[in-house]
Amino acid sequence: MIKQIRNFCIIAHIDHGKSTLADRLLEETGTVSLRQMKEQLLDDLELERQRGITIKARAVVMRFKRGNVEYELNLIDTPGHVDFQYEVSRSLACCEGALLLVDAFQGVEAQTVANAYAAMEHDLHIVPVINKIDLTHARPDEVAEEMMHSLGTDPDDCVRVSAKTGQGVDALVDAIIDRIPAPTGDPDAVLQAMVFDSNYDDYRGAITYVRVMQGTVRKGQKIRFLRAGTTHEVVELGQFAPQRVARDELVAGQVGYLICNIKSLGDVHIGDTVSIAGDNAAAPLPGYSRPKRMVYCGLFPSDGQNFSDLRDALERLAVNDPSFEFEPETSDALGFGFRCGFLGLLHMEIVQQRLENESDIDLVQTAPNVTYEIINKRGETITVHKPQDVPDPGDIEEFRQPIVRCNIIVPTDYIGAVMKLCQERRGIQKAQEYLGAQRAMLTYDIPLAEVVYDLHDKIKSCTRGYGTLDYEMVGYEAADLCRLDFLVNGNRVDALSIVCNRADADRRGRAVAKKLKSEIDRHMFEVAVQAAVGSRVIARETVPAMRKNVTAKCYGGDITRKRKLLQKQKEGKKRMKAVGNVEISQKAFMAVLSEAEGG
């Protein structure tokens, strides 16, 4: 019955114990036997287990009997890293409640605050949970006070648990049943279900994860995806417990999966609405706002790899992860490849590793860059995803860069070091508030390009690992930016172009030119390596020519013989330089790109 269903997710900062708590809930409800139990059971991607982080949200159904009543608890385990915020927002739309998990030692972190506000925007009932109370240095009373100051929760409402030892988990299950409301929905109404995730199986086609809002869906029924406009027959449906378990029907309030033998990857859209086929279909649900891609880079197959293999791998991955996008592009230096957009640098790294691990493809990746806006002399606004698309300086009226609002939570001892770091990154301080006697939250507006590369690592370094960062997009602001090009033998190398602040252009130009000089093979003629802004060359290095001793055979005689040979060699080198072609090896590209990322 619908009043015995509870849909909830676990939200928290990274490393506060979401996946471990999910393991204990599975044990407490008897969903998984001790024989099948392993750590981080729901993290089934190989990459998740290697890194110890959750990348994909996972749904699981648990049956729990209290007294004579059996409850169905649908849990969605979510990632904690800021780059996977889109996964969290999709999970929140499918739930009525959320467990807000906070570490009993580390307390409220930046991502905790962001996730709590996201849950409030979705009108979810929040159950505050303090985890890791078994630690010898745990401070649950102080953390409950911090949560009251920053999130407005009542300290008496906090459920105290240890996900490692299982202490307090039985009280948490009772809190989930008592405090989280049952879903609203009529099993007899017209079918209306939301697609909140999907993945691709080579044998079954696209597997669609749905939350049924209204009505009932049965095996063998004809259904329609409203956004895609396609009709399919339900071949199999069921729930995750935690592996796929087939059922005969899913009713309003339940979470499960549908298999409809969908072979075309373009037919499945995250956020789509599933309804009945025909004219009496339900109204489409609002779906999800499109994720804002923050970072773009080029992905190219390395030597001897097939371009079409990379395209197939990207299409398969896009079904499972809708937060990244790709489009074909061509580079003079690297050949055919794709321009890909990501939510952040960790997201970019994860997608690249998944492509290499799951599809066995060797990739060459260009330097990542953020999206800029340019207003040209004609008053048109152009969105620029790659430096090659930046017009000539004479055609630019205003160059605008994305600004993000960063919330940085640090111990009070390190406030000065973090302020200095933010000011070096051209940050503007907006607020400073104390969460307790020992912790403060600093708010800065910083250009996104200064944040995505290594600000998170630098904050961790200068606060000895205690500082945490969360950021959200604010908008675009005008800045003194320019496109920095690199020319080898007079030809522009498009894959190395970057957009940077004009004040940094000289320093970065010299660093990359010096690196290129050491990486480019010597030729029979001099090779000029130049860094230029527009038509102005700001740095130059010269790769010296290889010398052949043409006068070795002259063992004496008149000096004019030697001069004639040297003049002939000089003219030959001049002719060779005019028609010569300098190829930059991929090894040289990788060395220069890693140098550019490093700053």
Identify the pLDDT of residue 39. 57
Do residue 411 and residue 457 come from a single domain? yes
First to last CA, the chain: 58
Do residue 257 and residue 161 come from a single domain? no
Do residue 465 and residue 520 come from a single domain? no
Q: 15 a known binding residue? A: yes
- Domain-located, residue 288: no
Do residue 17 and residue 162 come from a single domain? yes
DSSP string, 241-307: SSSEEEESEEETT-EEEEEEEE--GGG--TT-EEEESSTTPPPPP---PPP---EEEEEEE-TT--H
pTM of the model: 0.69
- Domain-located, residue 75: yes
Q: 273 a known binding residue? A: no
Do residue 168 and residue 60 come from a single domain? yes
Partners of 329 in the β-ladder: 337
Q: What tokens were used for 20?
A: 């471990």
The C-alpha angle with vertex 50 and arms to 49 and 56, in degrees rounded to 5, equals: 50
Chain centre distance of CA 534: 33
Where does residue 7 fall: left (phi above 0), alpha (psi -120 to 50 degrees), or beta otherwise? beta
- Domain-located, residue 473: yes
Q: 156 a known binding residue? A: no
Q: Measure the CA–CA gap between 487 and 493, rounded to whole angstroms.
A: 6
Identify the pLDDT of residue 482. 84
Q: 149 a known binding residue? A: no
Do residue 457 and residue 523 come from a single domain? no
DSSP string, 441-480: EEEEEEEHHHHHTTHHHHHHHHTTT--EEEEEEEEEEE--
Q: 454 a known binding residue? A: no
Q: Measure the CA–CA gap between 96 and 122, rounded to whole angstroms.
A: 9
Do residue 300 and residue 424 come from a single domain? no
Cα dihedral angle (581, 586, 591, 595), rounded to 10 degrees? 80
Q: What are the angstrom distances between the C-alpha of 34 and each of 42, 241, 575?
A: 15, 15, 77
Q: 19 a known binding residue? A: yes
Do residue 57 and residue 168 come from a single domain? yes
- Out of 247, 276, 305, a domain closes at 276
Q: How many CB atoms lie within 10 A of CB 372?
A: 24
3-state helix, strand, coil split of the chain in percent (to 5) is 30, 35, 35
- Domain-located, residue 285: no
- Domain-located, residue 284: no
- Domain-located, residue 233: yes
What CATH number does residue 261 fall under? 2.40.30.10
Residues of the chain with pLDDT under 70: 32-57, 77, 79-87, 265-266, 287-291, 303-305, 319-320, 322, 332-333, 550, 575-599
- Domain-located, residue 506: yes
Q: 16 a known binding residue? A: yes
Identify the pLDDT of residue 290. 67
Cis peptide before 242 (omega within 30 of 0): yes
Identify the pLDDT of residue 597. 45
DSSP 156: G
Q: 230 a known binding residue? A: no
The sign one gets for the Cα dihedral 292, 364, 458, 485 is negative
What CATH number does residue 569 fall under? 3.30.70.2570
Identify the pLDDT of residue 580. 56
Do residue 198 and residue 230 come from a single domain? yes
- Out of 429, 449, 478, a domain closes at 478
Identify the pLDDT of residue 14. 76
- Domain-located, residue 410: yes
Q: 407 a known binding residue? A: no
Do residue 400 and residue 471 come from a single domain? yes
How many domains does the chain fold into? 5
Contact 184, 67 (CB under 8 A): no
Identify the pLDDT of residue 69. 84
- Out of 348, 366, 384, a domain closes at 366
Q: What is the pLDDT of residues 492-549, one digit of tens each?
A: 877 778 888 888 888 888 888 888 888 777 777 778 888 888 888 888 888 887 777 7
What CATH number does residue 135 fall under? 3.40.50.300
Do residue 318 and residue 440 come from a single domain? no
Q: 20 a known binding residue? A: yes
Do residue 154 and residue 211 come from a single domain? no
- b/e string for 472-495 if b means 16 or more Cβ within 10 A? eeeebeebebbbbbbbbbeeebbb
Identify the pLDDT of residue 41. 53
User: What is the span of the domain harbouring residue 262?
Assistant: 192-276
